[in-house]
Amino acid sequence: MNTLFLPALEHLQNRGRQIAAGIAVLCVGLLGAVYIGSSPTAVAPRDAAERFVDSLLALMTIEEKIGQMTLFTTDWEATGPTIRAGYREDIRQGRCGALFNSHTATFTRELQRIAVEESRLQIPLLFGYDVIHGYKTIFPIPLAEAASWDLEAIERSARIAATEAAAAGLHWTFAPMVDISRDPRWGRVMEGAGEDTWWACRVAEARVHGFQGEGLGRPDAVVACVKHYAAYGAPTAGREYGTVDMSERFFREYYLPPYAAAVRAGAQTVMTAFNDYDGVPATGNRYLLTDILRKELGFAGFVVTDYTAINEMVPHGVAHDEQEAGELALNAGVDMDMQGAVFQRFLKKSLQEGKVSAAQIDTAVRRILLLKYRLGLFDDPYKFCDPEREKRLLLNAEHRAAARDMARKAVVLLKNDRNTLPLSRTARIALIGPLADNKSELLGSWSAAGNAADCVSLLEGLRAAGRGTVMHARGCDIEGTDRSGFAQAVATAKKADVVVVAVGEAAHMSGEAASRTRLSLPGVQEELIEALVATGKPVVVVLMNGRPLAIPKVVERATALVEAWWLGTEAGNALADVLFGHYNPSGKLPMTFPRSEGQIPIFYNEKNTGRPYDANSKWTSKYIDSPNSPLFPFGFGLSYTTFEYGIPTASPTAFRPGDTVRIRVEVRNTGSRAGTEVVQLYVRDLVGSVTRPVRELKGIQRIHLSAGERRTVEFTLTEADLRFYRRDMTWGSEPGEFDLFVGSSSTHGQTVRITLLP
């Protein structure tokens, strides 16, 4: 007997099969190997995992191999998890190797039992789910987490999400989403880290490390999936699934790096995007999936499509039918087909017709099986299916405390006239608005197994934290034109010392397939705010939303304005901590807020023109009906205290490649409260062989200062931080002068000039 087969046969025997059955499997496997024309000794194994996988491959029929490349969904009904007709038999016959939306320890255990006890080769299933910002304990949406500028907290959020997901039977999360977006009309901005490439890279790394923990195979780690590769965040007109059209220079400099950062951080899977890139859909784009991802970035894991993305290459117009679409996908570098069943239905025929090769199929299956092996599923397919562990970990006190901490850090104070905030704990508060006593919307989009009943509303949070009176009136709905509640809201406001009005979007208004052309508050919410302002009471507006909004009138009328995003399970408690001053807000915006939709796309690191903005000259790059400046700039956020920046210094001011420049600036807390400031470093290349942005973020530091305390903050910069794609498309720096800005946002800061010498 060829020793190549022994590891797989030992696996079958260890799972309780008869020796005779193992020998029969070997014979069938040999016939299958002959059928597909593969050689069991063609690949020299390098370690135990590869030896095992190669032995298993040699036993597999072509149908079983294609089954490993097939991912199907299960469903969730009022009675709990369900599986579609026919999928159980697909598992039993080896025609499906992975499932998504299958969760809870009991449900996944039963499905796994079918795979490892009733299928011929007993290959365990891989279970995936969109665990985006928490599994059962829901954290703030990713855009809100990015507003914390706290990488340790972001990684802890992903760590807890992974711990809970793994306890519920899951192995794999379809996160992080690392798509850069400069267009808040696109609903999925809520799922990413915002508009800046440098920051998105750091967040991508933190989230991959959080999900995958100390290593795959541990019972508290899940596999990260980087999405959506590539350039998904730049659809034309902000429309979901839309065409993407950009230069390769722009793509490589701004959109590609976060994917690369996530791969370098160890992510084991990558998901293709729905959009095209350079005229070719990402799912069939060999340049993206093989030339860049595999060869340039060195990615060794497997590539999965997004939902039916192979099928959708037919309406894209690059394939005549789904069989051809499947061939395009495999030839481009796709390993697993999500839900479309194109591989399952057509790939064997494509192989017989010579449109794809047996080696390509083997390569894809090998990548998938290696991941299952490294998760430890062949040793113990039920290791993630422990109901007792699930019960112990989900929504426990430690996880809720971490969610509350993350939520507080995500809040951004945008306006605070007359020091209206923080509120007195003994104040008479009128809490108004459609989101004041709401729980379901607090979860936001992509809230996994989160339950609204587990959430703390703002009304509950304020009443639990304060000693005064909190009166409540709804006022209006999120959507619609019903103003009948205005009178009660105004009457309630008149009895109060201060009005807090909670307004924003419903969760369905942001996320996938939720593009908007108008970024004002929906319905009559702005009218409600105007009616409350007319009472003469100070009005604190609390925004709950998944994207930047264009709300200049609200900003003008509100006494104070708080960006609260969708904060998740502990939203009400976290907001009460901030509004009452138990926590001093420290969040900063990871995306620019426009004055109007007409400014979109709007972002801080734009390039200059030959006629840069000049308020005194019509013939410059400007609008005739609006300032160029945003409503709120990238990196902006206030505190209950104030910070004063000194003039930065650089040493040396002239340096060569290999040298390190140290930039120092003194920051002083000039207020009466302790607070945390996010100190930001930006660079401008004054002259380049191609046009360069007016500012580029290159570093941040979160510092906590007591009242009156001062501290010298130090950044380091090297020649590598000044590299870009030069005129000839080589990656590198160019000698010349650079301005460094250190301050509290992308539009604030003192400057120091440095020179890079040849």
DSSP 232: T
**Residue 636, CA distances (Å) to 98, 528, 591, 607 in order:** 43, 27, 9, 20
- Cα angle, residue 298 at apex, residues 294 and 299 outer, rounded to 5°: 65
Residue 179 annotated as catalytic = no
Retrieve residue 72's tokens: 């199907």
CA distances from 480 to 234, 405, 524 (A): 30, 34, 7
Q: Name beta bridge partners: 71.
A: 98, 338
CA nearest to 576, candidates 531, 526, 535, 542 = 542
User: What angle separates helix 397-410 from helix 571-579, to the nearest 10 degrees?
Assistant: 50
Quickly list H helices, 558-648.
571-579
* Ramachandran quadrant class, 132 (left: phi over 0; alpha: psi -120 to 50; beta: rest): alpha
Distance CA 102, CA 128 (A): 7
Q: How many Cα neighbours within 13 Å face the side chain of 455?
A: 29
CA distance 739 to 754: 6
List the one residue out of 661, 609, 637, 669 whose CA is nearest residue 748.
637
Kindly name the residue from 54, 130, 183, 306 that is annotated as catalytic: 306
Q: Is the peptide bond before 601 cis (omega within 30 degrees of 0)?
A: yes
Strand positions, DSSP E, 402-526: 412-416, 428-432, 469-473, 498-504
CB atoms within 10 A of CB 481: 9
| Cis amide bond preceding 627, omega within 30 | no
Cα–Cα separations (whole angstroms), residue 306 to 90, 285, 315: 21, 14, 16
Q: Which candidate, 24, 101, 20, places its Cα nearest to that of 61?
A: 24
Q: Looking at the annotation, which residues are catalytic?
A: 306
